[in-house]
Structure 1
Amino acid sequence: MDTRIELRVDGEQRSLTVDTRTTLLDALRERLGVTTPKKGCDHGQCGSCTVLLDGRRATTCLALAVAHAGSEITTAAGLADGEELHPVARAFLEHDGLQCGYCTPGQICSAVGMLDEAEAGWPSSVTEHGEGGAALDESELDDEEIRERMSGNLCRCGAYANIVTAIREAANGSGR
């Protein structure tokens, strides 16, 4: 059964008709021509398809498009301000946080979402709680914390050391 939906993708309102079984990733790539999110594993295990969905990071290969009608979707391309790269994307470039680049859009979206989560005080499984159970402050993101929070995004090339360095730099004063 086909359903008409509206999505706001990278700031642009888009309308499309999709089969109710269509994933958000396939709707973006195949129906709207938005190829920034990549199809990696198609099972939610690699993170290549990660976008910000209503401000939160999400793997689009596991999301049905109809379930997110009316949602705001931001891809790595949509994070830029015109020709000005987002500070996280700029840090990835400055620290060689990529090799082949296939996973990079998902890594960048995940990093932006992760930094927002840390800023909001959301702990991870490795967060050390201070007195009274206080959650992590964004400025306290160490390498272990970043690795844990980014563990849903895989890089086949193994650029992890530089990815962690880029995210740490972006967290410590990027003006996101």
Structure 2
Amino acid sequence: MQIELTVNDKLVTWDVENDEFLADTLRAHGFLSVKKACDTSCCGLCTVWMDGKPILSCSILAMRAHGKKITTIEGVSQAAEEFARILTAEGAEQCGFCSPGFIMNVLAMKNELDNPTEDEIIHYLTGNLCRCTGYMGQLRAVKTYLGVA
């Protein structure tokens, strides 16, 4: 089937299989920041935005993106780089495998929540798994980026 969607502000038309997941479609078209790791929709590595809201692209069929606006980390590179610098300064970047999905969720949180509490930040980011850190550096980086104490 053929779908038409906007990816990072560029209108595209792609052929997809009926059972193809959006994460696989995006990767097949060169958006390699979109990763799959858990095969259970639990790790957050495949996070992209659909119409401005974070979704797990490994659990959404590509055909559901027809007519939608999809944003990957490549589409928000300036904001992503800004947060990544803070993440690095806090010593929380580690291997970086989880970073694209994590960063997409942090940027979405900045757009959605005003002055979140630490508990709200933790709740928002619960679905992001990192195998390298104890999350404290990441939490410090998020709080610094959001300007909350």
- Is TM (by shorter chain) over 0.5? yes
Q: Does 1:150 align with 2:148?
A: no
Aligned partner of 1:100 in structure 2 is 95
Residue ranges of structure 2 left out of the alignment (5+ in a row): none
Residue aligning to 2:146? 171
SS at the partner of 2:15? Answer: strand
- For the 8 Å contact 1:142–1:168, the answer to whether it is kept is no
Which one of 36, 40, 45 corresponds to residue 39 of structure 1?
Answer: 36
- Residue identity over aligned pairs, in percent, reads 34
Map of 1:44-55 to 2, 5 A cutoff?
44-55=41-52
Q: Distance in 1 between matches of 2:121 and 2:22?
A: 27
Structure with a larger share of its residues in helix: 2
Matches within 5 A, 1:1-176: 3-30=1-28, 32-81=29-78, 85-118=80-113, 138-139=114-115, 141-172=116-147
Runs in 1 of length 4+ with deviation above 6 angstroms?
Answer: none
Task: Please give the root-mean-square deviation of Cα atoms over the aligned residues, in Å.
Answer: 1.8
Calculate the TM-score normalised by the size of structure 1. 0.77
List runs of 5+ in structure 1 lacking aligned partners: 119-137
The Cα shift of 1:70 comes to 1.9
Larger radius of gyration: 1
CA distance in 2, matches of 1:70, 1:159: 39
**Matched length:** 148
Q: Deviations over 1:7-63 (max 9, x none)?
A: 222222222100111000010012x12111111112210000001111000000000
Measured in 2, the distance between the counterparts of 1:53 and 1:167 equals 22
Alignment CA distance shift 1:51-1:23 (3 Å): same
1:43–1:16: structure 2 CA closer, same or farther, 3 Å change rule?
same
- Bigger drift between 5-14 and 49-58 goes to 5-14
